Structures are given as C-alpha cells and as structure tokens.
Chains A and B, each alone.
Chain A
Amino acid sequence: MDECKVIIMGFGAVGQGVADALFMKKELIKEKTGFEVKVVAAADSSSSAISAEGLDEKLLVDTKKNEGKLSAYPEFGSDKNGAEILDAVEYDCLIEATPTNIVDAEPALSLTFKAFEQGKDVVTSNKGHLALKFKDVVSAAEKAGVEFKYEASVGGSMPIINFVKDTLSSCDIKSINGILNGTTNYILSRMTSEGSDYEDILKESQELGIAETDPTQDVEGIDAACKTVILANSLLGIDATYSDVKVEGISKITSEAIELANKDDYLIKLISEVSPDNLQVSPRLVKKGSSYDVSGTLNMATVKTDLADEVSVIGLGAGSLETASAMLTDLISILKNKN
C-alpha cells in the first residue's frame, strides 16, 4: 500500500475541517487512489504536532479545540512552527490553510515556495498569494515539476476551477459572472426578504458568526476581488493581479435601492465579472428567477463558453467541512495522477 504523508499548515476552521474530513474519508481515498493518507504534522500560528508515524486526526482537532494550541498534543506536541516544520518531517503534500494576506501574501507564499523547492505537491485554500502573485506561484510549481491545486480558494465547496478545466475542457471560456462571497450574499438576501437596513443586518450577521468582527474584507468586495483574480488567471488566462480589479462593495446599498430594484423584478447582488475586458466586483441588478437568484450564503457562477453556451454552478462558498471537501478532491486528483 502506497502512503501519502501530509502536513496541514494552519489549523483553524479549514485546517480542522481537513483533519475531520480525512478521518471520515480515509477508506474512500484508499479505494479511489490506492494511497493511505497520513497526517505527519499539523501547525497553528505558534506551535505544532509532529510525528513521522502519523497523528490522530480526531485528537488533533480535540487538542486544538480544548487546549487552544497544538503543542498540547500528547507526546508529539512541539513548539516548532512555520517553515521549519517542512524540514522537521518527511512528507509528500502540503495542505496549506493559513490566513489570507493580501499585503505580502505571507506566510503562504514562503511556505508554498519552500514546499515546491523540496519537490512537494501543495493544496491550498488561501487566496492571498494567488491574488497577488498568481503567475509566480503557478510557474514555480511547473518549474519544480510538482502539482499545485487551489479549488478551495474560490467558492469553497462549489466546483468551479477543476470543473471548468476538466469538465468543460472542450470549450473556450468567454467570461464568468458569479456571486463569490457568501457573507455579502447573506446580507443582501436578508435586506431583500425583510426590507431592513444594511447596518442592522450586518450587526445580526456578526452576532450569528456569518460576518467577521471586522467585516471589511467581505463587505467592501476585497474577498470577491481576490477570487476574481484567481478565476481570471486560472480559467481565462488573463495575467492580472488584485490591483487590476475595479472594486465596489455593498456598504452603500440601501433598502430603498433594493425596493426599487424589486419594482422591476430585479435583485441586487454583489457580482464578480471576469472577462478579458473587465475585471470587476460591484453590486449589480439580476433578474428574479435567473441563475443569479440564489440566496443566503450560497455562491454561484455562470460560465459563458463558445460551445456549451452558458453553464451555471451553485454551492456553499464557505464552511469548515465544505471547504475541506474541495481540498480533499484536489488531494485525490493529485494521488490519482501518481498511479
């Protein structure tokens, strides 16, 4: 039986989701790929658990939840952190789920480059390095002859990158329009169904944990803009970076605007437009009952192609297990290629 040793970097919602999902899907992965996946290290911002023999996924999650730090993991807890972990244990694939950073893309950028230099494959959910330096990262992976997959970075569990690359591979992609941020879709949906003001719904969303304490990344369209860049580069071959996207968030949307839109049978949604002549995140009018009419935290995307005309996908854009599902799919496709 072949073995695939993985390191999980970043052990928050997504990292823990990956551990949980690996625990649930070990057998399935073995059946589909012939590989037994073993977690040889997991790390948070300041500590880690490391064992060449493999760690217990459930115990990792429990330790992090109960003790707050992975260094509290019985026997194998360690104060090692960051890049040194990649030298501390033999591994095959880095599963990287550290926070998105759109100032300098760290720590994801250095970790990813280091893994490539070591000849290791990388699966990520991170948007920062992709939004700032897509070309550099992808070409570094190619040069190193390793696999680099990032399905989870856009749309969480909603298939879009692999879907377009693999399933729509016969088509030229003309453009993609989509709702790529669940938090803002939730806020706009509630403003629409209740006629309430932006500020009130934002506050409630924060209490429910749907919006962050600092909601800027979501409500000002920054998160959606990062995803716009990732789709532009990966699916339309547009050499763009974050600063090439025109961004307008939803904080100026009033209940009056939603009411007026409703009069003409429209909804207001935060739409990412990815086309060769426009990279833009902005509130737009969409027809009720159209494929853009998805509510709550759902994400969607409509892909315009030459042969298949329009194809749309819908799915949960965030969540621990949901995002982990996309990362496991990436891992499985890497392992399938090894056979």
Chain B
Amino acid sequence: MRMDLVLELLDVPGQLVSVLEPISGLGANLVTVIHKRDYKNENGMVPVQLTMEGKQEDLKNVINRYEELGFSIIEIDGVIKKEKISTILFGHIVDRDLRDTMDKINAIEGVLIVGFDIKLNGEDKSTALINVEADFGKKQMFFKRLEEIAQEKELLVINEV
C-alpha cells in the first residue's frame, strides 16, 4: 500500500536525511519526496511531502519511528492533523451578538468551535470558555483573527501562552 505524509522539519542541514533513513531501514520504499527549503510555514518550519510504499506493518513502524524522533506529522493521506485550542473571552458577550461572534470564529479557515461554556453574571460582563479545533499550523492566524473580532466587540481575550 501507499501512504502520503506531510512532515514539518527544522530548517537545519541533515534533517531530510534523518527523515528518509527510517523508510528503507524499516523495509518500506520511498516513492516521492518534495522538500522546499525556501518555503517556511508560520512556525518557521519547512514542510516535506513524501509518499512511501510498503506493507502496512512497515509503514506503521515508520510513523512510530518518526514520532519517537520527534518529527511533527501534520498530514496523513490528505487528512490534516488538528490542534485543540482553548481561549477565554470576557465582556458583554451575549449583548454583543454571541451568535455572530461564533459564526465569525467558525468562518476562520481551518477553525471550528467544538466547545463552549459561559458564566453569566446578571447584567454584568460575562465570561466564556471556547474550545476550537484548528488545522495544524493555523494557530497564530486564529489568534490574530480572534483579536480582531474581540476588539470590534470590546471583549478581553485570554489566550494560551
């Protein structure tokens, strides 16, 4: 069987070699590899696309080996890995059109709200915890857009460090 992978590598010499080694070493075959060192994503990492072929068992061993080596696999067979992000909003969340706020967050590319919890405080400002799932590598973009939405609605955002 075949498997397509996208990995993120540090932009330092020798990284690609250590990615390719386990493939033949564990009995699989490399079909294609695309490594563009001049392209960096928002984390300053270089993505590598590769396709390998082999027995299911061997391919699985390669993936395990990558995880041991600490390589981030961001896509397997076209399915993008997700990151969970928690964030807290504080302000007149309901009065400032909660529905619209949620729609705007969901409209951010690669981002989906998966959890929401709100504490109301009478007429006062309220506090909400929002959990989103974001495509790998979309985190900074999410923070930036959220900041804009919050500014427009005069909400305080408490993001992860």
Contacts and interface: CB of A to CB of B under 8 A. Distances in A.
Interface of A: 177, 248, 252-254, 256-257, 259-261, 263-264, 266, 268-269, 271, 273, 282-286, 292
Interface string B117-150: 1010100011111010000000000000000000
B161 interface: yes
A177 B159 CA distance: 13
B155 to A, nearest CB: 10
A285 B158 contact: yes
Contacts of B117: 260, 263
6 contacts: A256-B121, A256-B126, A257-B90, A266-B86, A269-B161, A284-B158
Given A254-B127, A256-B127, A260-B117, A284 B90 contact: no
Contacts of B90: 252-254, 257
Interface residues on B, range: 10 to 19
B128 A264 contact: no
B127 to A, nearest CB: 4
A292 B161 contact: yes
Contacts of A256: 119, 121, 126-127
Contacts of A282: 158-159
B129 A260 contact: yes
B160 A257 contact: no
Contacts of A263: 117, 129
B161 A261 contact: no
Residue with the highest number of chain B CB atoms closer than 10 Å, among A257, A261, A273, A282: A257
A286 B125 CA distance: 23
Given A254-B127, A285-B161, A292-B161, A260 B88 contact: yes
Contacts of A284: 158-161
B119 A177 contact: no
B101 interface: no
A273 B159 CA distance: 12
Nearest to B124: A254
B161 A260 contact: no
A254 B126 CA distance: 9
B127 A257 contact: yes
Nearest to B10: A306
A271 B119 contact: no
B156 interface: yes
A172 to B, nearest CB: 12
B133 to A, nearest CB: 14
Contacts of B156: 248, 252, 283
Contacts of B125: 254
A258 to B, nearest CB: 9
Contact of A264 (B126, B131, B159): B131
A264 B129 contact: yes
Contacts of A177: 161
